[in-house]
């Protein structure tokens, strides 16, 4: 318990520091000539993308570990990572259309990255639903692990598939070194860092919840047994 | 003694609930073990663990002298469960044929035919299993479990649904198997039948175990009180 | 290998006796054809026609899911699935046997519904028949491999009929996109684009490998 608390504190501090720096730089960053102030929402959107995909990668990795070693903590990690990841993915799908409406005038297009992220979101949701609707924690862990691994194998394929179908992408191309205006590099970089810090912090919290739930279930089961 | 089945520290948890407290178990060829206990005690769970259908949460199970691979272990086991494991749209013969093929038996058609004859199932050999009565389906399930001549036979309430004649024939069949060197683990509420077969009994109450042997297993008259006492002891210790 | 044949034989014989999967899938696909005909009749111009390939795959995907749902439902009666789990076989081959059975059934439905589509929308499929069959088969293969794996999972969850499409469809996107693109090109231009075919082949391969390897774990209790 103490290990978790110190980890929690460490991530809280890291998160607070990153968030403050990032917010300050984002606030101070110049307003984009073409897009106007709404461009600043990208400082939230892009880091959230990092969180979303990081979450899935970690879930898939923990799932593989679980199937190999069958350790409960790997499964707990996979579940926690998925929940935090889906949160970030939701933010991506919320901030993206807001920015799109402000700049392109449309809430949604079926371009490569948007569709891919939507699909990622659906995979996340299906993963979490699978976990809830399977009876038996060992079975749920096993099934979810298989699904996560299948998902990991397919997400890159989706990239090529949508690319094939859509052809041109409407999404802004990835910002190379020079394409960022002066003063925009810092907030983006700090944003990424903040996202990772936020992810870590939320993950630690969620893991703690998982452990506490396990203990509560154990105690409930024991007292039910006493009464019987 | 060359143990056919050895389990050490066997446990099973379903989430936070412990269905089986750490259990040690050893069974050699020609030995029969009865597993007794009230409903929900963990008897079926134990059987499924031994059969390899479920993974233990802790502990080790060894089947056969050498460690062997998974396929060898599965080949050594025959399970008669609560369900029949038979496909209702296939005939009895076809079900046995499928089993023979899955277990890699030579001359599957002949083996199936012989088993049908042995179990007196020829009359319903070409009838769909879905159309069989409960007793006949149970007999077909037993035929399926024994088809590949397993060294370890696990049975969960095998006499349920059988008429007196079929039940008696099953008891004799199991005794013959035991004499031929097979090991048996039988879960049953029928104390009279297991007393005649088994030399030892494992009493399970809420996952905890107590052992009975020797004089207690002589006949039903002896087993009944011994069993009741065991259950009371285990429940009291909760 | 004999496991594969044994399981395949069992599924096809069972299906032949009851025919419930085939009928359900066939009727469903036919209904889709009828609905689409009503929604976009042949006379309504090239715009409507342009949607036919995609709609064909909608019909085939949902028919496929319908059949796959039943694939493991039959294993639950009498706990027959446990019987398979007990057998000393490589479970990957059990998977292949079941996937192949679903594949055969889906191919049959695809053939029948393609004919119905051709009749309803006045299409001449003869010049592209061979290549269309190839694309249909590749798409069906992708559907049936991942679909069989997820069907085995979904059948032991609480909302099994809903669970399978939920799990399957997001991951099926590469197959569907490749198949629709290829079908589109075939029906509208008479060509078969290599990138689409490539995507189908790679995806089918990945699906088959992942499903084959993980089925071992899925068949546990």
Which chain C residues have a beta carbon less than 8 Å from that of A158? 173-174
Question: Residue C210's closest chain A neighbor by CA?
Answer: A150
Mean pLDDT, chain C, as a whole number?
A: 90
Q: Tell me: the pLDDT tens digits for C105-115?
A: 999 999 999 99
Quick one: which H or E segment has residue C204?
helix C194-218
pLDDT at res. B200: 92
pLDDT at res. C148: 96
Q: Which residues of B192-216 are buried (b: 16+ CB within 10 A; e: fewer)?
A: ebbbbbbebbbbbbbbbbbebeeeb
pLDDT at res. C145: 96
pLDDT at res. A219: 84
- Asked if residues C171 and A153 have their Cβ atoms less than 8 Å apart, the reply is no
Q: How confident is the model at residue A24 (pLDDT cuts 50, 70, 90)?
A: confident
Q: Report ipTM for this prediction.
A: 0.90
CA distance B99 to B213: 36
**Burial level of C217, CB count in 10 A (0-12/13-18/19+)?**
middle
Q: Of B70, B85, B103, which is closest to C82 when you measure between CB atoms?
A: B85
Both tokens assigned to C46:
């090239």
Calculated CA dihedral for residues A18, A22, A23, A25, nearest 10 degrees: 140
Those residues of chain A whose CB sits closer than 8 Å to some CB in chain B are 70, 136-138, 214, 217-218, 220-222, 225-226, 228
Mean pLDDT, chain B, as a whole number?
A: 90
Q: Which of A82-91, A143-152, C69-78 is least confident?
A: C69-78
CA distance A115 to A122: 11
Distance from C17 to chain A by nearest Cα, in Å? 32
Q: Is B120 helix (H, G, I), strand (E, B) or coil?
A: coil
**CB under 8 Å to A182, separation ≥6 — which residues?**
A30
Q: Of C157, C169, C211, which is closest to A130 when you measure between CB atoms?
A: C157
B206 contact A CB<8A: yes
Residue in A31, A12, A158 with CA at minimum distance from that of residue C202? A158
pLDDT at residue B208 is higher than 60: yes
Higher pLDDT, A111 or A131: A131
pTM of the model: 0.89
Q: Of A70, A220, A225, which is closest to B206 when you measure between CB atoms?
A: A225
Higher pLDDT, A94 or A182: A94
Mean pLDDT, chain A, as a whole number?
A: 82
Q: Which of B121-125, C20-24, C31-35, C162-166 is least confident?
A: C31-35
Size of interface A-B (CB pairs under 8 A): 23
Q: Of C5, C17, C85, which is closest to B89 when you measure between CB atoms?
A: C17
Q: Tell me: the pLDDT tens digits for C131-141?
A: 999 999 999 99
- Cα angle value C138/C156/C67 (rounded, 5°): 35
Which chain B residues have a beta carbon less than 8 Å from that of C10? 87, 90, 94, 98
Q: Tell me: the pLDDT tens digits for B148-192?
A: 999 999 999 999 888 899 899 999 999 999 999 999 999 998 889
CA distance C8 to B8: 39
Q: How confident is the model at residue A178 (pLDDT cuts 50, 70, 90)?
A: very low
C88 contact B CB<8A: yes
Size of interface B-C (CB pairs under 8 A): 82
| Cα R_g (chain B), whole angstroms | 18
Q: Which of A218, A220, A226 to mutate to test the interface with B (most CBs of B within 10 A)?
A: A218
C82 contact B CB<8A: yes
Higher pLDDT, C20 or A64: A64
pLDDT at res. A177: 41
- Asked if residues A164 and C184 have their Cβ atoms less than 8 Å apart, the reply is no
CA distance A96 to A116: 13
Q: Work out the average pLDDT over B229-234.
A: 88
What are the residue ranges of helices labelled H in B59-200? Answer: 70-75, 92-102, 108-118, 134-146, 164-179, 191-197
Which chain C residues have a beta carbon less than 8 Å from that of B89? 13-14, 17-18, 74
C10 contact B CB<8A: yes
């Amino acid at each position: 318990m103490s290990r978790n608390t110190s980890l929690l504190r460490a991530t809280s501090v890291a998160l607070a520091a990153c968030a403050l720096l990032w917010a300050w730089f984002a606030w101070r960053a110049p307003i984009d000539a073409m897009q106007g102030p709404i461009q600043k929402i990208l400082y939230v959107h892009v880091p959230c993308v990092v969180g979303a995909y990081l979450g899935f990668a970690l879930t898939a990795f923990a799932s593989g570990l679980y199937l190999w070693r069958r350790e409960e903590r790997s499964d707990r990690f996979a579940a926690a990572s998925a929940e935090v990841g889906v949160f970030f993915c939701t933010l991506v799908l919320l901030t993206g259309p807001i920015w799109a409406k402000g700049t392109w005038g449309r809430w949604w297009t079926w371009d490569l990255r948007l569709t891919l992220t939507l699909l990622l979101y659906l995979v996340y949701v299906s993963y979490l639903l699978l976990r809830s609707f399977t009876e038996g924690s060992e079975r749920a862990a096993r099934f979810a692990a298989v699904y996560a691994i299948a998902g990991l194998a397919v997400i890159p394929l989706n990239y090529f598939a949508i690319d094939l179908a859509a052809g041109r992408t409407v999404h802004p191309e990835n910002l190379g070194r020079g394409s960022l205006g002066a003063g925009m590099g810092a907030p983006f970089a700090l944003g990424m860092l903040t996202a990772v810090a936020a992810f870590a912090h939320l993950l630690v919290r969620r893991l703690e919840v998982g452990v506490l739930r396990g203990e509560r279930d154990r105690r409930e089961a024991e007292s039910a047994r006493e009464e019987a | 003694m060359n143990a056919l089945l050895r389990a050490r520290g066997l446990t099973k948890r379903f989430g936070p609930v412990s269905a089986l407290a750490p259990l040690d178990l050893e069974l050699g060829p020609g030995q029969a073990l009865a597993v007794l206990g009230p409903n929900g005690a963990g008897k079926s769970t134990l059987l499924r663990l031994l059969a390899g259908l479920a993974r233990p949460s802790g502990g080790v199970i060894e089947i056969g002298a050498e460690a062997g691979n998974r396929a060898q272990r599965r080949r050594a086991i025959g399970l008669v469960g609560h369900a029949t494991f038979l496909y209702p749209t296939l005939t009895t013969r076809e079900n046995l044929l499928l089993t023979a093929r899955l277990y890699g038996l030579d001359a599957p058609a002949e083996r199936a035919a012989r088993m049908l004859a042995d179990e007196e199932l020829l009359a319903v050999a070409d009838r769909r299993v879905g159309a069989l009565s409960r007793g006949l389906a149970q007999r077909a399930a037993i035929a399926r479990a024994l088809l590949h001549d397993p060294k370890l036979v696990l049975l969960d309430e095998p006499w349920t649904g059988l008429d007196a004649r079929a039940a008696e024939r099953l008891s004799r069949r199991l005794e013959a198997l035991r004499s031929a060197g097979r090991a048996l683990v039988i879960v049953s509420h029928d104390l009279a039948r297991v007393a005649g077969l088994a030399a030892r009994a494992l009493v399970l109450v809420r996952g905890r175990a107590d052992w009975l042997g020797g004089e207690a297993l002589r006949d039903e008259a002896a087993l009944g009180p011994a069993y009741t006492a065991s259950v009371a002891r285990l429940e009291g210790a909760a | 290998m004999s496991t594969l044949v044994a399981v395949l034989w069992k599924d096809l014989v069972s299906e032949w006796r009851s025919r419930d999967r085939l009928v359900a899938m066939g009727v469903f696909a036919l209904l889709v054809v009828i609905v689409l005909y009503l929604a976009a009749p042949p006379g309504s111009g090239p715009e409507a026609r342009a949607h036919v390939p995609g709609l064909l795959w909608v019909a085939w995907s949902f028919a496929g899911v319908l059949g796959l749902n039943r694939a493991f439902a039959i294993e639950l009666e009498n706990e027959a699935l446990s019987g398979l789990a007990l057998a000393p076989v490589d479970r990957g081959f059990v998977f292949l046997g079941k996937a192949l059975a679903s594949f055969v059934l889906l191919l049959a439905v695809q053939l029948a519904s393609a004919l119905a589509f051709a009749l309803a929308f006045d299409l001449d499929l003869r010049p592209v028949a061979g290549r269309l069959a190839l694309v249909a088969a590749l798409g069906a293969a992708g559907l049936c491999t991942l679909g069989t794996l997820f069907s085995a999972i979904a059948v032991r969850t609480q909302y099994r009929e809903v669970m399978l499409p939920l799990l399957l469809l997001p991951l099926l996107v590469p197959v569907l996109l490749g198949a629709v693109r290829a079908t589109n090109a075939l029906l509208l231009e008479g060509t078969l684009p290599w990138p689409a075919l490539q995507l189908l082949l790679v995806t089918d391969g990945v699906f088959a490998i992942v499903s084959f390897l993980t089925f071992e774990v899925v068949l546990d209790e």
